Amino acid sequence: MSDDNNVTAKKAHVDEDACIGCMLCTQICPNVFEIMPDGKSKAVNPQGDTENNIQEAIDQCPVDAISWKE
């Protein structure tokens, strides 16, 4: 497997109990995260962006609701 950072084996995961629905993750990775009808984010395509971009969404989440799952 190449280390070109285009695809990751890790998957983004949102803790829906912690999520406050600020939508930052959907702005950073719109192909990965979506706001559900309950106002919480969900990783609908957990590998839908580069590892760097997903990590940016994780880092920017104000309540640390996003993490990696392997």
pTM, full prediction:
0.86
User: Can you tell me the distance from the alpha carbon of 52 to that of 56, in angstroms, rounded to the nearest whole number?
Assistant: 6
pLDDT digits (tens, 9 = 90+) for 23-54: 999 999 999 999 999 999 999 999 999 999 99
Which phi and psi angles does 39 have, rounded to 5°? 90, 0
Amino acid at 47: Q
Amino acid at 60: Q
Please give the CATH topology (third level) of the domain spanning 16-69. Answer: Alpha-Beta Plaits (3.30.70)
What lies within 8 Å, CB to CB, of 56 at 6+ separation is: 28, 29
